[in-house]
Amino acid sequence: MKPRKIVVIGGSAAGAKAAAKARRLDQKAEITIIQKDHDLSMASCGYPYYVGGVFDNRSALLATPTGVIRGPEFFMKTKNIKALIETEAVGIDRQKKLVHCRSVQGGADSTVEYDKLVYCTGASAKVPPVQGIDLDGVTNLLSMEDTDFLHQVVKEKKASHVVVIGGGLIGVEVCEALANCSIEVTLVEMAPDILMFLDPQMAKLAANHMKSKGVTILTKTGLKAFVGEEGKLAGVELSDGSVIDCQVAVVATGVHPNNKLAADAGLAIGKLGGILVDKYMATSDPDIYAAGDCVEVRNIITGQQSLAPMGDLANLQGRIAGENIVMGNSVTFPGTVHTAICKIFDFAAGATGISETTARKCGFDAIETVVNASPDKPGFMGAKLLVSKIVIDTKSSKIIGYQCVGNGDVSRQLATAAMAIQGEMTLDRLCCADLPYAPPYSLAIDHFIASAHIVQNKIKGRLKTISASEVQEKVARNEKVFYLDGRGPDEYESLCLGIGEHYIPLGALKGRLEELPQDKDSEIICFCKVSLRGYEAAIVLEDLGYTNVKVMEGGIMAWPYQREK
């Protein structure tokens, strides 16, 4: 039997993984990677950290853990894979099973034969259709070239002020990187909030942390033009006509799948612009597979197609494609729950599953959510705050979403929730989950389990809550509400909302009933630092006959608006 010819277009995450997996399963195959860039298997998620000076060794982005550059020689020597770098695939002839290639450096054109083709062309930056986009100083952070440019900006202090356009994961990571290098940073976001995978309250908490680190954030703000002199960027003009002076602008307004080659070859493309693949990662042509940022992925919760350009998913998909092209369709990729995490200075923010916003948009009409604020471990072990939001589908009683922000151990919370969602666990089960507990790592009742307890209390009708945003609207409208903060004076002197609240410590409540509204139908909203004492105060008040008592979710710690102290 002649050796199988496997060709992989794209040698970053998915492509390199598919090729390596295929090799492990077939030592005889002729495997070729066609890569437009000079580099292979780049750790692209690490770019912001190199820019921000977390490490100084550029080659760490391109090398194995032992320091060997993952170049063509490495691929040939250790994996017997031929990697054609600086080579662009410009056409696929599906009849003749050929890939037409062009040398980026101007060398001769070539063709490569395939029996099985894996298409891993990744995604490219969305380019805002504005003037000045080509000015010197306007960049993305998607390639080694972009990375080298921004690294130089930092090293050589080429900019005192940088504007970042787009408040998604990369935009936020770039803000952190540059602000950590003492560069003034302004983040411009068209939407009302940054980090759109979070619900507004959670996103505002993340934004507050960025602001506390000196980043200026302009939301609901569009980009009108990049303005410059002699080809060089001098400022960013915003939708309101104002101009921010800056020397560098980073465009991070998202990516779209690189689908042209596939579309030209007649492969099926989805509505979102990604290549359509089945659960085996096969395209509409059974000899062509695709993986990574260029494909559409099934959202496991909604069942809908989605784009999920994430490095981890690219690797997992590449592994599936690599196995199926060698072994026949035998392993499947189930889809994504859109798990994401992002470091923001001393803080982290992330989500898994779907947000309340997405759930409602997708027609989940029976959901319940709650915002929970509590420490990640005991105070005596150096507790740090976590604020999370859990989304339960009350029809199935399953968890379908979880978001977490804070300076505590967000990573563990999200990993816990991601598995709970993928394990299709019910709320009752989460309420009794057996998680790793010891004081250095968690509270006896882990923050995640506490979140489940609170939303269960809510679903059972034992806890009536109100969100911070609803409270803020009531305050703005000057509604007649009795706000009850159940903390003591030593606490409210250092931290308080200042919305006209009354301070009656929980333990003193029953002795100070005369301070409460005498009309038992008055609206009373209880809270405290995290609203646990607020909850217990509400139970007392209801027992006293008050009929309209609510607890503000997450208390002061989850309040994303300005407060008095």
* Strands annotated E in 239-335: 243-245, 248-251, 255-257, 288-290, 296-298, 305-307
Contact in structure between 307 and 168 (CB atoms under 8 Å): no
How are beta strands 243-245 and 232-238 bridged, if at all? antiparallel
Which residues within the stretch 167-196 sit at the binding site for its own copies (CB under 8 A)? 169, 173
Nearer to its own copies, 503 or 535 (CB): 535
319 touches its own copies (CB under 8 A): yes
Tokens of 290: 């695709």
Q: In what order do the strands lie in the sheet with 465-466?
A: 465-466, 549-552, 524-527, 482-485, 502-503
Candidates 121-129, 143-151, 330-338, 552-560; binding stretch for its own copies (CB under 8 A): 330-338
> In the complex, what is the shortest distance from the CB of residue 118 to its own copies, in angstroms, rounded to a whole number?
17
Nearer to its own copies, 279 or 502 (CB): 279
Which residues within the stretch 242-261 sit at the binding site for its own copies (CB under 8 A)? none
Nearer to its own copies, 74 or 364 (CB): 74
> In the complex, what is the shortest distance from the CB of residue 343 to its own copies, in angstroms, rounded to a whole number?
4
> If you search the block for the tokens 């921000």, which residue do you land on?
52
> In the complex, what is the shortest distance from the CB of residue 318 to its own copies, in angstroms, rounded to a whole number?
10
Contact in structure between 50 and 44 (CB atoms under 8 Å): no
Beta bridge partners of 402: 352, 390
> In the complex, what is the shortest distance from the CB of residue 190 to its own copies, in angstroms, rounded to a whole number?
24
60 touches its own copies (CB under 8 A): yes
> In the complex, what is the shortest distance from the CB of residue 37 to its own copies, in angstroms, rounded to a whole number?
18
> In the complex, what is the shortest distance from the CB of residue 263 to its own copies, in angstroms, rounded to a whole number?
27
Question: What is the pattern of x (binds its own copies, CB under 8 A) and - over residues 407-446?
Answer: --x-xx-xxx-xxx-xxxx--xx-xxxxxxxxxxxx-xxx
> In the complex, what is the shortest distance from the CB of residue 154 to its own copies, in angstroms, rounded to a whole number?
16
What is the identity of the amino acid at 525? I
Q: Which member of 337, 400, 454, 471 binds its own copies (CB under 8 A)?
A: 337
Q: Which member of 304, 332, 396, 547 binds its own copies (CB under 8 A)?
A: 332
- Report the phi/psi class of residue 273: left, alpha or beta, with left for phi > 0 and alpha for psi in -120 to 50: left
Beta bridge partners of 367: 393
Nearer to its own copies, 39 or 237 (CB): 39
> In the complex, what is the shortest distance from the CB of residue 312 to its own copies, in angstroms, rounded to a whole number?
4
> In the complex, what is the shortest distance from the CB of residue 321 to its own copies, in angstroms, rounded to a whole number?
12
> In the complex, what is the shortest distance from the CB of residue 226 to its own copies, in angstroms, rounded to a whole number?
29
66 touches its own copies (CB under 8 A): yes
Pairwise CA distance, residues 307 & 342, whole Å: 18
Residue 454, exposed/middle/buried by CB under 10 A (0-12, 13-18, 19+)? Answer: buried
> In the complex, what is the shortest distance from the CB of residue 29 to its own copies, in angstroms, rounded to a whole number?
11
155 touches its own copies (CB under 8 A): no
Nearest-5° Cα angle at 447, 201 to 487 = 70
User: Residues 524, 528, 531, 537: is their CA dihedral positive or negative?
Assistant: negative
493 touches its own copies (CB under 8 A): no
Contact in structure between 319 and 280 (CB atoms under 8 Å): no
Candidates 75-83, 93-101, 150-158, 255-263; binding stretch for its own copies (CB under 8 A): 75-83
Tokens of 468: 């911070």
Nearer to its own copies, 460 or 477 (CB): 460
Q: Which member of 248, 405, 471, 506 binds its own copies (CB under 8 A)?
A: 506
Other CB atoms within 10 A of residue 271 CB: 9
**Burial letters for 286-297: b for 16+ Cβ neighbours within 10 Å, e otherwise?**
eebbbbbbbbbb
369 touches its own copies (CB under 8 A): no
Residue from 178, 277, 177, 188 nearest 239 by CA: 188
Beta bridge partners of 184: 161
Which residues within the stretch 100-119 sit at the binding site for its own copies (CB under 8 A)? none
Beta bridge partners of 102: 88
289 touches its own copies (CB under 8 A): no
Q: In what order do the strands lie in the sheet with 243-245?
A: 223-229, 232-238, 243-245
Q: Which member of 87, 259, 302, 339 binds its own copies (CB under 8 A)?
A: 339
Residue from 137, 139, 158 nearest 47 by CA: 139
527 touches its own copies (CB under 8 A): no
Tally: H helices and E strands in the chain: 15, 30
Element at 169 (helix H, strand E): helix 169-179
Nearer to its own copies, 441 or 561 (CB): 441
Nearer to its own copies, 127 or 419 (CB): 419
> In the complex, what is the shortest distance from the CB of residue 413 to its own copies, in angstroms, rounded to a whole number?
8
Nearest-5° Cα angle at 110, 109 to 111 = 145
Question: What is the pattern of x (binds its own copies, CB under 8 A) and - over residues 36-55?
Answer: -------x-xx--xx---xx
540 touches its own copies (CB under 8 A): yes
Nearer to its own copies, 59 or 103 (CB): 59
Q: Which member of 342, 387, 504, 526 binds its own copies (CB under 8 A)?
A: 342
Which residues within the stretch 5-24 sit at the binding site for its own copies (CB under 8 A)? 13, 24
Nearer to its own copies, 56 or 230 (CB): 56
Other CB atoms within 10 A of residue 280 CB: 19
State the number of binding residues for its own copies (CB under 8 A).
Answer: 102
Pairwise CA distance, residues 62 & 47, whole Å: 11
> In the complex, what is the shortest distance from the CB of residue 15 to its own copies, in angstroms, rounded to a whole number?
13
Which residues within the stretch 372-401 sit at the binding site for its own copies (CB under 8 A)? 375, 378-381, 383
> If you search the block for the tokens 């809510």, which residue do you land on?
458
Which residues within the stretch 293-312 sit at the binding site for its own copies (CB under 8 A)? 300, 310-312
Which residues within the stretch 453-472 sit at the binding site for its own copies (CB under 8 A)? 453, 462
Other CB atoms within 10 A of residue 418 CB: 20
